């Protein structure tokens, strides 16, 4: 299985819409649902050339299976996100490898010093992924954001360039 990440392209929009609208994928996502194809095309046109974010597609053997990226890039840090869209590829190590690859990209090509994320406290499978790939849980945010009308608690995680390197990623 060859796992890779490439920059999102216009042709990926229908897949993103399908994946985000799939109830098996969006429980913990903070999107206005259902995601609309036309609005997503407008979003893509506005964001595709921005330098404060990287939106990517995870591929397995050339087949798109999910979205991944870094948002809000400023002051040498950015916020990580991932959604595995294709059910057949969940639980097979794809998200783990894709996360390592996006962190490698963030620390080398984007020259970030830190990558962080927030995840709802109930999202146990995501927390396992983050901790497996070296993110450290540093705090809890209580009820500051809403997800589908209800206040949710979130954990805050981060990983530094140095921690990533110490965790066996010598390519830095």
Q: How confident is the model at residue 7 (pLDDT cuts 50, 70, 90)?
A: very high
Q: How many helices (H) and strands (E) does the chain have?
A: 5, 7
Q: Are 136 and 163 in contact (CB under 8 A)?
A: yes
- For range 13-28, the mean pLDDT: 95
pLDDT band for position 167 (cuts 50, 70, 90) = confident
pTM of the model: 0.94
3-166 topology per CATH: Aminopeptidase (3.40.630)
Q: Is the dihedral of CA 144, 149, 154, 160 positive or negative?
A: negative
* Residue 157 confidence (pLDDT): 98
Helix, strand or coil for residue 79? strand
Segments making up each domain of the chain, as ranges? 3-166
Does residue 138 sit in helix, strand or coil?
A: strand
Q: What is the pLDDT of residues 80-124, one digit of tens each?
A: 999 999 999 999 999 999 999 999 999 999 999 999 999 999 999
Rg (CA), the chain: 16
pLDDT for position 31:
82
Q: Is the pLDDT of residue 30 over 90?
A: no
* pLDDT score of 172: 54
pLDDT of 60 > 60? The answer is yes
Angle CA(29)–CA(1)–CA(161) in degrees, nearest 5?
60
Q: pLDDT (tens digit, 9 = 90+) per residue, 132-148? A: 999 999 999 999 988 88
Cα–Cα nearest to 54, from 41, 78, 70: 70
């Amino acid at each position: 299985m060859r796992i890779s990440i490439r920059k999102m392209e216009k042709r990926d929009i229908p897949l993103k819409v399908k994946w985000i609208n799939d109830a098996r994928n969006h429980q913990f996502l903070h999107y206005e649902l259902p995601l609309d194809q036309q609005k997503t095309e407008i979003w893509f046109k506005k964001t595709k050339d921005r330098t404060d974010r990287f939106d990517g597609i995870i591929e397995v053997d050339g087949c798109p299976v999910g979205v991944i990226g870094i948002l809000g890039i400023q002051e040498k840090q950015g916020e990580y996100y991932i959604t595995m869209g294709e059910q057949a590829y969940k639980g097979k190590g794809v998200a783990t490898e894709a996360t390592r690859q996006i962190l490698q990209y963030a620390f080398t090509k984007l020259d970030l010093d830190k990558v962080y994320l927030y995840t709802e406290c109930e999202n146990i499978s995501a927390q396992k992924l983050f901790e497996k790939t070296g993110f450290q849980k540093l705090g809890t945010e209580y009820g500051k954001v809403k997800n589908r009308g209800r206040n949710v608690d979130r954990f805050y995680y981060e990983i530094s360039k140095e921690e990533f390197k110490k965790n066996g990623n010598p390519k830095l």
